[in-house]
Amino acid sequence: MDPVTTGVKGLCPRCGQGRLFDGFLKVRPSCTACELDYRFADSGDGPVVFVILIVGFLVVGAALWMEVNVNPPLWLHFLLWIPLATVLSLALTRILKGLMINLQYRNNARPGEIDRD
């Protein structure tokens, strides 16, 4: 299974059939299809760092462009950028968390180990 495709879709890294998430961001205890134990899955803060950088760049860039070119009132900035940043952050966090967990499984990543072969 391709880890990028299954990660973006939120599917099991082994079989690609079962769901990875129980709810929106919580990882299931195991796969519903192949019963792979997801205890190895620890995405940590990795996805969130990328989300902050990507969403921050897009939202702040768009807000600055709008301020310079349109000069809208402050309430319009709040009305546009706060919901956009929230929705983009949540959606991108789920996608990147699934991707990172799938890549961990694919590369057999473990905490604190360095392959010295």
pLDDT in tens, 85-94: 999 999 999 9
- Say which residue the tokens 């019963």 belong to: 35
Per-residue model confidence (pLDDT) at position 15: 92
Domain around 97: 3-106
Q: Is residue 39 part of a domain?
A: yes
pLDDT for position 39: 87
114, part of any domain:
no
Our count of domains for the chain comes to 1
pTM here is 0.84
Distance CA 96, CA 99 (A): 5
* 13 in a structural domain: yes
Predicted local confidence at residue 45, as pLDDT: 86
Residue 27 lies in a domain: yes
95 burial (CB, 10 Å; 0-12 / 13-18 / 19+) is middle
pLDDT in tens, 33-75: 999 999 888 878 889 999 999 999 999 999 999 999 999 999 9
Q: Is residue 112 part of a domain?
A: no
